[in-house]
C-alpha cells in the first residue's frame, strides 16, 4: 500500500491524485455496502410478507429506497472510477516524459520502448494496479458486509460461502510468479516490435527503391509472431486462474442449496433466509472470482510498476554542482582521451579557447572532430580521461543548466520538433521580439517563417524544408539566446557555397567565442580565425 500511495502523485506533478483516490474508494465502499443491503432487505421482505402483509409493505418501501440508492451510487462509482483513471494516466505520462526528457540522447530502440511504455503499459498499469487496488478493496468490503448478513441468517451457510471464497481468492497466488514473468516478456517483445516497425516506416523510400517489400514483411511477421506467442502465454496464465475459480464457484452453489434445504426442513431457517443467502452467494461469486482475477492482474503488472519507478527516479546529476556565474573566459581541453569498445577515438587532446576569439578545427571524416565537440558540449557518453574546464573549473563539477545558458552547441544534423517554426527557434525562452526579428533577418528566414506561419512542423513538412533551411533554423535557435560561446559542428554543410560563406562570416563577427568544426575550410575566411587546428587520428595539432 505504501508503494501505491507513493505512486499516486509525485513531487514533479502539479496534480495530486491521493485525495481523488480516497474519494473514489469511499464511494466504492458505500456502493458495496448498499449492494449487499439490497438482497438482505429483499429476503426480509419475503419473510415479512409470508407472516404479515402490512409489515411486508413497509419492507417493500425500504427495498425501493435502497434500490434507488444503489442506482445512484452505481453511476457515481463508475464516474469516479473513470475520472480517477484519466487523472492517473495523465499524471504518469507527464512524470515519465519529464524524466526521460532530461536525457541528452537515447537510441532508437530505447525511444521506441519508451513510446510503447507510454501508450500501452501505462494504461494497463493504471487499470490493473491503481484502479485494480480500488476494485480489490471494494470486493473485500462486499465479502465482509455479506459475511455479517449471512451470519445473521445461519453460521453454517456463511462458513461454506467464505471457506470456498477464500480458496477462490488464493488461486492467483499459484500463478503470481509465472504471470508476472509473462507480462514482462510480453511488454519487452512489444517494445522490440515497435522499434522494428518504426525503422521500416522511417525507411519506406528505401523499401520501395530497393524492392525490400517481401523481406521487410517477413521480418515484421516474425516479430508479430513473437508478440502473439508471448500473449498466448499470458492468456494461458489468466485462463488457469479462471478455470480454478469457476470450478470452486459451482461447488459452492451446490453446497449452499443442499445445506439450505436441510436447514429449512429442520426449521432452523426461513425460506426468505435461503433466498437472501442465495442472492448474496451469487453476489459474492462475482467479487470472489473477480477478486482472484484482479489480484492476479495486479501482481502481473508489478514488473511494469517497478519500471515506472525506475523511469521516474529524480535526476540528481546536477545536484551539488557549482553554477557558472561568471562570463566564460576560457574553455580548456587537457590531455583528453576517449575510447569506445577499445577503439581509441581521441588521444592526448589539449587546447585552450579564449573568450571573443574564433577557432577552426578541421580534419578528415572519422578523425574525432565531432566527438571532441560532443565532449566539450557535455552531451552523451562522458567516460573520457583527462579534463575539460571552463574558467579553470572542471566541467564535471559545473551545473549543466548554467553551462548551457552561456555555451550553445549547434550540431551537424538539425532537428525540428513537431511544433511551429517559432517554437522550434524560441524553445520556450523569453526572447524579445526585436532580437528574434533581427536573427530571422540575418539568416534570411522571413520567407520560411511566413510560409509555415502557425503550422506545426510535421514529418511531411520537414521533408519539404531543405537541409540548408533546417540548418539556418538551428542557427537561429542558437543565436536568439545570444550565447557567449558557439560550438558549431558542420553547421553550414547543407548550404550552397555563397550562403555557407555568408553565414560563416556572420557567425565569426558575433561577439562570442566561436569554435567551428568543419570537414573542409573556406580559404576566403581563414584570416578571420585566431587559431586553426587540424584533427588527425584522434590527435589535435595547431596549424
Distance in Å from the first CA to the final CA of the chain? 66
Q: What is the spatial distance between Cα 127 and Cα 82, in angstroms, rounded to a whole number?
A: 10
Task: Judge whether 346 and 337 are in contact, CB under 8 Å.
Answer: yes
Q: Which pLDDT score, from 0 to 100, does residue 100 have?
A: 82
For 357, other C-beta atoms within 10 Å of its C-beta total: 13
Beta carbons of 336 and 385 less than 8 angstroms apart: yes
pLDDT at residue 438 is higher than 70: yes
Tens-digit pLDDT profile for residues 390-407: 999 999 999 888 999 999
Q: What is the mean pLDDT of the chain?
A: 83
Using the structure block, give the residue that is written with the C-alpha cell 492482474: 297
What is the rounded CA–CA span in Å between residue 15 and residue 482?
35
Which residue in this structure is represented by grid cell 526528457? 101
Residue 10 above 60 pLDDT?
Answer: no
Cα–Cα distance measured from residue 493 to residue 373, given in angstroms and rounded to the nearest whole number: 16
Average pLDDT score over residue span 266-291: 66
Quickly state the pLDDT bin for 488 (edges 50, 70, 90): very high
Mean pLDDT of 131-157: 80
Q: 3-state SS of 352-372?
A: EEECCCEEEEEECCCCCHHHH
Cell numbers given for 73: 451510487
pLDDT at 4 (0 to 100) = 74
Torsion of CA 492, 448, 484, 407, to 10 degrees: -70
How confident is the model over 12-34, as pLDDT tens digits? 444 577 888 999 999 999 998 88
Residues 331 and 390 sit within 8 Å (Cβ to Cβ): yes
**pLDDT reported for residue 12:** 44
CA 253 to chain centre: 45
Q: What is residue 416's predicted lDDT score, i.e. its pLDDT?
A: 86
Most confident of the following: 144-148, 273-277, 383-387, 489-493 = 383-387
Number of other CB atoms surrounding residue 247 within 10 Å: 13
Which pLDDT tens digit goes with each residue over 165-184? 777 767 666 676 787 788 88
What pLDDT score does 13 carry? Answer: 44
pLDDT one-digit tens code per residue, 472-485:
999 999 999 999 99
- pLDDT higher than threshold 80 for residue 285: no
Amino acid at each position: 500500500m505504501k508503494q501505491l500511495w507513493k505512486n499516486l502523485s509525485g513531487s514533479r506533478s502539479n496534480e495530486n491524485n491521493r485525495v481523488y483516490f480516497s474519494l473514489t474508494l469511499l464511494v466504492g465502499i458505500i456502493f458495496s455496502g448498499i449492494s449487499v443491503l439490497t438482497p438482505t432487505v429483499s429476503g426480509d421482505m419475503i419473510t415479512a410478507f409470508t407472516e404479515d402483509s402490512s409489515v411486508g409493505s413497509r419492507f417493500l418501501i425500504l427495498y425501493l429506497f435502497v434500490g434507488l440508492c444503489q442506482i445512484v451510487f452505481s453511476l457515481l462509482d463508475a464516474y469516479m472510477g473513470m475520472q480517477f483513471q484519466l487523472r492517473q494516466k495523465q499524471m504518469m505520462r507527464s512524470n515519465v516524459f519529464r524524466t526521460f526528457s532530461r536525457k541528452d540522447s537515447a537510441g532508437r530502440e530505447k525511444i521506441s520502448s519508451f513510446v510503447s511504455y507510454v501508450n500501452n503499459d501505462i494504461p494497463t498499469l493504471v487499470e490493473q494496479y491503481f484502479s485494480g487496488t480500488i476494485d480489490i478493496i471494494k470486493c473485500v468490503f462486499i465479502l465482509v458486509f455479506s459475511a455479517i448478513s449471512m451470519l445473521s441468517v445461519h453460521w453454517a451457510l456463511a462458513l461454506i460461502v467464505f471457506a470456498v471464497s477464500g480458496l477462490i481468492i488464493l488461486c492467483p497466488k499459484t500463478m503470481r510468479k509465472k504471470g508476472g514473468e509473462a507480462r514482462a516478456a510480453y511488454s519487452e517483445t512489444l517494445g522490440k516490435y515497435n522499434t522494428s516497425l518504426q525503422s521500416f516506416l522511417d525507411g519506406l523510400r528505401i523499401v520501395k527503391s530497393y524492392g525490400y517489400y517481401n523481406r521487410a514483411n517477413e521480418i515484421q511477421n516474425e516479430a508479430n509472431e513473437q508478440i502473439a506467442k508471448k500473449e498466448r502465454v499470458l492468456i494461458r496464465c489468466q485462463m488457469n486462474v479462471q478455470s480454478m475459480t469457476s470450478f470452486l464457484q459451482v461447488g459452492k452453489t451446490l453446497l449452499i442449496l443442499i445445506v439450505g434445504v436441510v436447514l429449512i426442513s429442520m426449521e432452523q431457517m426461513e425460506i426468505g433466509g435461503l433466498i437472501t443467502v442465495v442472492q448474496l452467494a451469487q453476489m459474492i461469486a462475482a467479487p470472489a472470482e473477480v477478486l482472484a482475477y484482479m489480484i492476479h492482474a495486479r501482481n502481473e503488472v508489478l514488473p511494469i510498476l517497478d519500471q515506472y519507478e525506475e523511469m521516474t527516479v529524480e535526476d540528481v546529476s546536477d545536484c551539488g554542482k557549482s553554477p557558472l556565474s561568471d562570463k566564460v573566459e576560457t574553455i580548456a581541453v587537457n590531455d583528453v582521451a576517449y575510447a569506445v569498445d577499445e577503439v581509441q577515438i581521441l588521444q592526448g587532446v589539449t587546447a585552450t579557447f579564449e573568450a571573443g576569439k574564433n577557432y577552426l578545427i578541421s580534419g578528415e571524416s572519422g578523425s574525432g572532430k565531432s566527438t571532441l565537440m560532443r565532449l566539450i558540449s557535455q552531451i552523451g557518453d562522458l567516460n573520457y580521461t583527462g579534463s575539460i574546464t571552463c574558467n579553470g573549473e572542471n566541467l564535471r563539477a559545473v551545473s549543466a543548466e548554467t553551462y548551457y545558458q552561456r555555451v550553445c552547441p549547434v550540431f551537424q544534423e538539425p532537428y525540428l520538433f513537431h511544433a511551429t517554426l517559432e517554437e522550434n527557434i524560441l524553445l520556450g525562452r523569453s526572447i524579445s521580439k526585436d532580437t528574434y526579428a533581427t536573427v530571422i533577418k540575418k539568416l534570411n528566414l522571413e520567407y520560411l517563417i511566413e510560409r509555415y506561419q502557425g503550422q506545426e512542423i510535421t514529418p511531411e513538412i520537414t521533408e519539404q524544408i531543405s537541409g540548408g533551411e533546417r540548418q539556418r533554423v538551428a542557427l537561429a535557435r542558437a543565436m536568439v539566446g545570444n550565447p557567449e560561446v558557439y560550438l558549431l559542428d558542420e553547421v553550414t554543410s547543407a548550404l550552397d557555397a555563397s550562403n555557407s560563406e555568408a553565414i560563416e562570416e556572420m557567425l565569426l563577427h558575433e561577439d562570442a567565442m566561436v569554435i567551428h568544426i568543419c570537414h573542409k575550410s573556406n580559404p576566403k575566411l581563414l584570416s578571420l580565425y585566431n587559431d586553426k587546428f587540424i584533427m588527425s587520428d584522434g590527435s589535435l595539432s595547431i596549424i
